[in-house]
Structure 1
Amino acid sequence: MSEPGVGQPGKRTIQDLVAELDPRVTVDHEMESYLLARADEFIDSVMHFACRIAKHRGSDQVEPRDIQLHLERNHNIRIPGFASDEIRGALSRPAVEVKPKNAGGTDKSKKKKLNPEAAASLRAARVAAVQNARGMGRD
């Protein structure tokens, strides 16, 4: 069997890649075989996951976003030139709608301070609600 990259146009060997970084460094055949095996395992893993994602989407075709999702989520690899913001947005989108802190129309800067009696009454009501909720969980 011939060595990878030899006699095959467009194919490069690990040694070719290393020589681009530092021409003085060499990679022996055993190490090159090991690195190629790890690269094959990585590609198999990525493609297996991408196929599962495509199937989950109801498609029989793998799209770049399927591969990108796996690379970003499991390997923290971002590929420039793809819509990674769309993928990242889908990953970080909350499952439930979160209301803004000012949802009730109140402006905190204009909030009035309660008098001490009203504050104590409000605190007592909150404590009672917490105790009631704890008591309901024990039943």
Structure 2
Amino acid sequence: MRRILAVLLIAATTASAAAAGQSGKPRYFVKAWLQKADKTFEHTTSWCGPDQHCLVPIGEDMIELRELSGSSYYLRFISASSEDTPCCVFRNGSREARLESEYPRVATLYYRPEIWGGRGVTKFGRLIIVVEDLY
């Protein structure tokens, strides 16, 4: 399953990261695929510098990476959607998750529970992401 996800992610993210407007010396290469619950998707590639904090646009949304290291990082997804449907949290209700670097990781995202009056969890989508340390 991991190999299939990795192949899909690499194939879908062939756009040049230079086009994302990143400047400076790259330290990390980020590839991400967002599969929304409505079956639409976005994908991106980008560079992150050595400063341990990086914002990566994906469609109209944003991926925030913090405390980047060769082995792990914190991930937060920031949705551009209106305040009527603010997004997103992970299954445990947290706004961020700590993930390991180098291999594709799947982070399932959910709408915040208070939006639905506490009537259960509604899935926003899945974010498949790889952060590669270039050093």
TM-score by length of 1: 0.20
Q: Give 1 or 2: higher strand fraction.
A: 2
TM-score by length of 2: 0.20
